[in-house]
């Protein structure tokens, strides 16, 4: 399977479940540079020419200057999200409503969370949209969700979720896209993926419409 930027790959219901997180999964890269300081220091005037992945050397040629600038979104400075916003540290003040996109669970009250904007891809094109997401601030207390034949408990406990089905051209299949109770989400996803037009399914919260996870057959 090819690595896909910005997501975690998890086994789920005989499908592959992709959980949104501002991180990268890489497969075939020989070397890749982010030019972030090691460790990242959130200082946009500093950086490194050492590769983040693999080995190699980046050389400055011609009339290119040796200073580091903002780049596209969160590169090279740390502490910013996919849209260039500063990542917000947020203390959860209730047991639900802070669904973590890495461990796919509710953190409970009194846990430090990170709030960031995540560029959900796919879909690309006209149906593309970014989404706010929460993540545990303490990565050591947030194991990546990996289960077989199991819907994440936190999704089953959500009263209403949005099931969005897309084809290989990233077009939404309106006749398969609908709201579903969390307990019925698994059956609804299976129905979508049983349709030969469906390439993948994204699950969102029903109210704010935040991205929760992605499901794809393998």
Q: How many CB atoms lie within 10 A of CB 109?
A: 12
Residue 55 domain-assigned (yes or no): no
Residue 15 domain-assigned (yes or no): yes
Residue 141 domain-assigned (yes or no): yes
Residue 186 domain-assigned (yes or no): yes
- At residue 184, the pLDDT reads 95
- At residue 159, the pLDDT reads 94
The alpha helices in the chain, defined as continuous H runs, are: 153-156, 185-194
Residue 54 domain-assigned (yes or no): no
Distances 142 to 78, 171, 215 between C-alpha atoms, Å = 20, 33, 21
pLDDT, the chain, mean? 77
Rounded CA-CA distance 179/15 in Å is: 20
Residue 86 domain-assigned (yes or no): yes
Q: Which of 13-27, 31-45, 180-194 is the least confident region?
A: 13-27
Number of domains in the chain: 1
- At residue 68, the pLDDT reads 54
Residue 52 domain-assigned (yes or no): no
The residue with greater pLDDT, 143 or 56, is 143
Boundaries of domain holding 86: 5-29+80-217
**In the chain, what percentage of residues exceed pLDDT 70?**
63
Q: Long-range contacts for 8-13 (Cβ within 8 Å, ≥24 apart)?
A: 8/102, 8/144, 10/104, 10/144, 10/145, 10/146, 10/147, 11/146, 11/147, 11/148, 12/147, 12/148, 12/150, 12/151, 12/215, 13/149, 13/150, 13/151, 13/186, 13/189, 13/190, 13/215
Residue 50 domain-assigned (yes or no): no
- At residue 10, the pLDDT reads 39
The token pair at 150 is 């199991």
Mean pLDDT of 61-80: 52
Rounded CA-CA distance 106/5 in Å is: 24
């Amino acid at each position: 399977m090819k690595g896909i930027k910005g997501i975690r790959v998890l086994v789920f219901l005989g499908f592959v479940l992709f959980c949104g997180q501002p991180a990268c999964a890489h497969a075939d890269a020989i070397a890749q540079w982010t030019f972030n300081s090691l460790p990242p220091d959130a200082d946009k005037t500093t950086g490194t020419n050492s590769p983040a992945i693999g080995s190699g050397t980046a050389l400055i040629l011609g009339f290119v200057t040796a200073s580091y600038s903002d780049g596209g979104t969160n590169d090279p400075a740390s502490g910013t999200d996919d849209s260039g916003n500063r990542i917000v540290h947020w203390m959860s003040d209730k047991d639900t409503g802070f669904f973590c996109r890495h461990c796919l669970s509710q953190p409970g009250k009194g846990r430090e969370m990170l709030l960031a904007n995540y560029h959900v891809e796919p879909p690309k094109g006209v149906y593309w949209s970014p989404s706010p997401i929460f993540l545990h601030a303490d990565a050591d207390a947030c194991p990546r969700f990996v289960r077989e034949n199991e819907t994440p408990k936190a999704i089953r406990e959500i009263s209403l979720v949005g099931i969005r089905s897309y084809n290989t051209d990233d077009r939404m299949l309106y006749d398969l896209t609908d709201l579903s109770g969390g307990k019925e989400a698994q059956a609804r996803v299976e129905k979508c993926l049983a349709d030969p037009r469906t390439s993948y399914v994204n699950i969102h919260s029903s109210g704010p419409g935040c991205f929760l996870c992605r499901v794809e057959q393998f």
